Structure 1
Amino acid sequence: MTTPTGKRRLRVLSANIQAGSSTRRYSDYVTRSWSHALPAGNKRGSLDVIAQLAGEHDIVGLQEADPGSLRSGFTNQTHYLAERAGFDYWTHQPNRNVGRVASSANGLLSRLEPREVSDHALPGRIAGRGVLVARFGEGDEGLTVAVAHLSLGANSRKSQLSFIAELLADHPHAVLMGDFNCMCDMPEMDVLYKNTRLRPPEHRIATFPSWKPQRAIDHILISEDLVADDARAVPAANSDHLALAMNIDVPDSALR
């Protein structure tokens, strides 16, 4: 939607979909651990619910989307969601592969055609984390959207955020979304705020655990020249994370 001020409003969603698995209480991590390795537990039904949610948005960043292993019935979940939700453009970044039993990927669904897509492995004590970057529009003023899933450890996150800060430092219209595994005011986050135009969110929105949200660890960060509103948490089927949605006003010039 184009606004009267020469900006386009984009509906953006970030969702850790837990590969379509269902977690409704902490005990499920033990009692339903089989669902993280076997193609059972109505994952396809969960994906259909997530597709309905994704279809209400213009750009969707996914974390923990299975790129096609045993537990998903060898279904590329990003591709599946793109088809079910009617997205013309999609891409994914496989990051972790436990044999052919369980794989994990970042994903991007878009109604806008990206000019360029790149993926980068992130540093960390344990390999298997990455950031997926899409560029829209021409030149340095174009919109850059990055999707990341960061590590559990603070030291690894600091290295990963330093890497991401280098990628986004020269981009005035940037959006970074994903599962950060930390609050937005943790010390390791400062490297983003000091070295990019990204800013902390105005409101902390708890997204984890989904059944009793207490921690704001999923974020959509935008650069200072962009304007956002209506930030909210919404269920992502039965994932252990709530999804995070918001509207972002982007200059038309950043999308041409």
Structure 2
Amino acid sequence: MMAPGSPWPLTVATYNIHSAVGFDGRFAPERIAAVLNEIGADVVALQEVPLGDRRRPNVLPILEEATGYTAVAGPTIDQPWRHYGNAVLTRFPVSAVRHLDLCVGLNEPRGALDADISCHGEPLRIVATHLGLRPGERRDQVKKLLETFDTDAMPVLLLGDLNEWFVWGRPLRWLTTRFEKTPSPRTFPSLKPVFALDRIWIHPRQRLVKVWVHHSALARTASDHLPLVAHIAG
């Protein structure tokens, strides 16, 4: 039952879809859509999303049609030859969208999609991101992210592929200080997960009651990451 005056309960997920290319090397956005339908989350953060360029079509209309979600794009690479980045899929109205620049030096462009969503008539902030491959890069990116979490005006969810496998590394310690510790099951690689690269954080923390990996047979093939799912109680 929904708590009065709150956006809960809610099920959320984060999923690096690997350009909709599975372990079999096949580009199959309809397979990603099928995994999303298996999960049935209210809000999903996606990473490595083809957004329509010379290489691959925009997969968001395909996912919208197959799942019933509303999609919001957060491109991090926006060129004629490559249009690519993050996205948020939601079953609720989106009231505002912001794009955070997390680029560091000459590394691959990175960013965060920062959206306000009206869940059951209450505001909820969703930040979806995919951090860089280098430790120093991730430290700078987490500092930039934390600078944006300077308000308690509404609950905040941070979801994404953090590319951080150092358990005691500074980025994870800094995020834990802001959001408190949350479960981090292994999601990569999907066939036999070894690393907990994908994460879900929420503020306030006490609402988060369960975090799990969706490891269906289809999910193990559809991408090189498994989806991470969380249930937030009312």
TM-score exceeds 0.5: yes
Q: Is the 8 A contact 1:67 1:104 kept in 2?
A: yes
Q: For residue 162 of structure 1, report the CA deviation from its aligned partner.
A: 0.6
C-alpha offsets along residues 197-240 of structure 1, whole Å, 9 cap, x if unaligned? x1221x23000111111111100011135411231111445211
Q: For residue 243 of structure 1, report the CA deviation from its aligned partner.
A: 0.5
* 1:152 paired residue among 111, 133, 139: 133
Q: Name the CA distance, whole Å, in 2 between partners of 1:137 and 1:2.
A: 14
2:157 aligned with 1:175: yes
* 2:75 paired residue among 94, 108, 122: 94
- What is the aligned-residue RMSD (CA, Å)? 2.6
Name the larger-Rg structure.
1
2:169 aligned with 1:189: no
Q: Is the 8 A contact 2:30 2:66 kept in 1?
A: no
C-alpha offsets along residues 79-137 of structure 1, whole Å, 9 cap, x if unaligned? 321221012x321111125752x542100011111221111120313141110011135
Task: Show the counterpart of 1:14.
Answer: 14
1:234-245 equivalent positions in 2, closer than 5 A: 234-235=214-215, 236=219, 237-245=221-229
- Higher mean alpha-carbon deviation, 226-235 vs 142-151, is at 226-235
Q: Is the 8 A contact 1:162 1:192 kept in 2?
A: no
Q: For residue 190 of structure 1, report the CA deviation from its aligned partner.
A: 2.8
C-alpha offsets along residues 40-97 of structure 1, whole Å, 9 cap, x if unaligned? x24244233234235x11101000110012333x2x212321221012x321111125
What residue ranges of structure 2 are gaps of 5+ in the alignment?
Answer: none
2:50 aligned with 1:79: no
1:111-122 equivalent positions in 2, closer than 5 A: 111-122=91-102
Q: Name the CA distance, whole Å, in 1 between partners of 2:31 and 2:123.
A: 34
Runs (4+) of structure 1 exceeding 4 A deviation are 3-7
- Higher mean alpha-carbon deviation, 226-235 vs 211-220, is at 226-235
Q: Is the 8 A contact 1:78 1:108 kept in 2?
A: no
Q: Is the 8 A contact 2:160 2:199 kept in 1?
A: yes
What residue ranges of structure 1 are gaps of 5+ in the alignment?
Answer: 25-31, 33-40, 251-256
The structure-2 alpha-carbon separation of the partners of 1:7 and 1:167, relative to structure 1 and needing over 3 Å to count, comes to closer
The structure-2 alpha-carbon separation of the partners of 1:7 and 1:112, relative to structure 1 and needing over 3 Å to count, comes to closer
Q: Give the share of equivalent positions with the same residue, in percent.
A: 25
The structure-2 alpha-carbon separation of the partners of 1:45 and 1:169, relative to structure 1 and needing over 3 Å to count, comes to same
2:43 aligned with 1:59: yes
Q: Is the 8 A contact 2:7 2:123 kept in 1?
A: no
Task: Show the counterpart of 1:27.
Answer: none
Q: For residue 148 of structure 1, report the CA deviation from its aligned partner.
A: 0.3
Query: What is the one-letter code of the residue matched to 2:128?
Result: V
Q: Name the CA distance, whole Å, in 2 between partners of 1:98 and 1:137.
A: 32
Q: Name the CA distance, whole Å, in 1 between partners of 2:61 and 2:210.
A: 28
TM-score, normalised to structure 1's length? Answer: 0.78
Task: Show the counterpart of 1:69.
Answer: 53
2:96 aligned with 1:123: no
TM-score, normalised to structure 2's length? Answer: 0.85
* 1:229 paired residue among 194, 201, 209: 209
| Number of matched pairs | 225
